[in-house]
């Protein structure tokens, strides 16, 4: 099914009465449009049999920027006796986290919901996405396209011209214009004439998280003797001796940047074929019980902003954060800690 705005609105009018009635254990919920409310950005109103009134905003995507936009549109209606609710085809994890952070009620047309009011708490999860599109739509966070977001987040207070972004990322003007337009559409940028920057750096990062795929990188796993930071430093020495450009990510980078926790798995991006690099470093190959992960990046942009922390070359904190969300051990805790310590944004 195509998730264009008009199609999703039609589906919402078809599905919402029964979905809301089922969740509220009501016989009937009536939907209606009010032109005055539409002028204020509200798509539809609803009344249930218990006298509750609902102000509903329909979006065709649960991307964090769209969730944030819906919250801004709905916030003025809670004090007017309405229960504000965002409706989307399917609520993604990143979208749900954004909604929860904003205190925004939501319901998806696949049957999931998180709605809270004085005498009401609905929490439904686990229903599959009924609106999964065939094929993968283009994304401003595809590996090469993500160079734009990475550059913006490396200096989020700077106002950028598109030409400067092209120079910084090595992308041509046409690609930069297309990617910036997509980020604009997702409500993730603010403008000052021809200049732009993230409207909310934390929101932009959350939107990137939704599309980021760690498994796109080529990983070669193996073993070196030792443990923790000692392995990272030994691997750093061996890679330097072999003249292999590299930068650490994951838990060793989190340790170097913020001293977060002891760790077992050492993850490092390397330039070139990671299989050949494994031979250069005399690493014993094998996934079972591996304590080293050599990563061939899906795009060289991962090295942008790399710098040294505690004598260990590391990718930029935003890249470390993305990778930690997909790694084992205490990586999620490390990601949260790193974001608080190294990405001092007002989410």
From the centroid of its chain, how far is CA 151?
16
User: What is the spatial distance between Cα 137 and Cα 71, in angstroms, rounded to a whole number?
Assistant: 25
Q: Residue 343 and residue 339: Cα distance in Å, rounded?
A: 5
Predicted TM-score (pTM) of this structure = 0.86
In degrees, to the nearest 5, what angle opens at C-alpha 140 toward C-alphas 139 and 146?
120
Q: pLDDT tens-digit profile of 190-227?
A: 999 999 999 999 999 999 999 999 999 999 999 999 88
Nearest 5°: phi and psi at 309? -125, 125
User: Rounded CA gap, 317 and 69, in Å?
Assistant: 27
Tens place of pLDDT per residue across the chain (347 aa)? 456 788 888 898 899 999 989 998 887 788 877 655 554 445 677 788 788 888 899 999 999 999 999 999 888 766 667 899 999 999 999 999 999 999 999 999 999 999 999 889 999 999 999 988 655 557 899 999 999 999 999 999 999 999 999 999 999 999 999 999 999 999 999 999 999 999 999 999 999 999 999 999 999 999 999 888 999 999 999 999 999 999 999 999 999 999 988 899 999 999 999 999 999 999 999 988 899 999 999 999 999 999 999 999 999 999 999 999 999 989 999 999 999 998 877 54
Give all domains of the chain, ordered by start, each with its CATH number: 5-124 (3.40.1350), 146-211 (1.10.10.10), 214-342 (3.30.460.40)
Q: Which two tokens stand for residue 117?
A: 């009011």
Which are the contacts of 291, defined by CB distance < 8 A and separation ≥ 6?
A: 223, 224, 227, 231, 264, 265, 266
Alpha-carbon distance of 183 to 201, in angstroms, equals 12
One DSSP character per residue, 111-175 reads S-EEEEETTEEEEE-----TTPPSS----TTSTTTHHHHHHHHHSTTS-EEHHHHHHHH---HHH
DSSP class of residue 301 equals: G
Instruction: Report d(CA 317, CA 62) in Å as an integer.
Output: 26
Residues 197, 164 contacting (CB under 8 angstroms): no
* Cα–Cα dist 249/120, whole Å: 44
Cα 337 to Cα 347: distance, rounded to the nearest angstrom? 15
Reading the block at residue 155, the tokens are 């200096």
Query: Using alpha carbons only, what angle is made at residue 68 by residues 139 and 114, rounded to the nearest 5 degrees?
Result: 100
């Amino acid at each position: 099914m195509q998730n264009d705005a008009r199609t999703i609105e039609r589906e919402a009018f078809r599905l919402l009465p029964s979905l809301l009635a089922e969740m509220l254990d009501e016989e009937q919920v009536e939907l209606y449009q009010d032109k005055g409310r539409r002028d204020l950005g509200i798509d539809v109103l609803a009344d249930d049999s218990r006298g509750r009134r609902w102000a509903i905003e329909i979006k065709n995507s649960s991307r964090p920027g769209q969730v944030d936009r819906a919250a801004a549109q709905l916030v003025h209606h809670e004090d007017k006796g309405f229960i504000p609710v965002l409706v989307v085809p399917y609520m993604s994890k990143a979208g749900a986290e954004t909604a929860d952070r904003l205190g925004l009620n939501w319901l998806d047309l696949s049957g999931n919901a998180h709605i809270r009011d004085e005498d009401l708490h609905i929490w439904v999860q686990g229903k599959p996405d009924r609106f999964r599109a065939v094929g993968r739509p283009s994304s401003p966070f595809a590996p090469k396209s993500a160079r734009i977001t990475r550059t913006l987040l490396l200096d989020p207070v700077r106002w950028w011209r598109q030409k400067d972004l092209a120079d910084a990322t090595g992308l041509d003007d046409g690609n930069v214009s297309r990617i910036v337009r997509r980020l604009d559409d997702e409500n993730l940028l603010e403008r000052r004439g021809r200049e732009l920057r993230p409207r909310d750096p934390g929101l932009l990062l959350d939107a990137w998280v939704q599309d980021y795929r760690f498994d796109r990188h080529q990983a070669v796993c193996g073993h070196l003797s030792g443990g923790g930071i000692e392995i990272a430093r030994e691997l750093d020495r061996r890679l330097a001796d072999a003249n292999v450009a590299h930068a650490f990510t994951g838990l060793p980078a989190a340790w170097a940047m913020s001293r977060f926790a002891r760790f077992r798995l050492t993850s490092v991006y390397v330039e070139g074929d990671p299989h050949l690099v494994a031979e250069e470093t005399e690493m014993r190959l094998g996934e079972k019980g591996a304590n080293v992960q050599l990563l061939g990046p899906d795009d060289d942009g991962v090295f942008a902003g790399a710098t040294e922390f505690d004598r260990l070359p590391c990718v930029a904190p935003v890249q470390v954060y993305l990778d930690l969300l997909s790694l084992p051990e205490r990586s999620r805790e490390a990601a949260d800690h790193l974001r608080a310590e190294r990405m001092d944004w007002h989410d």
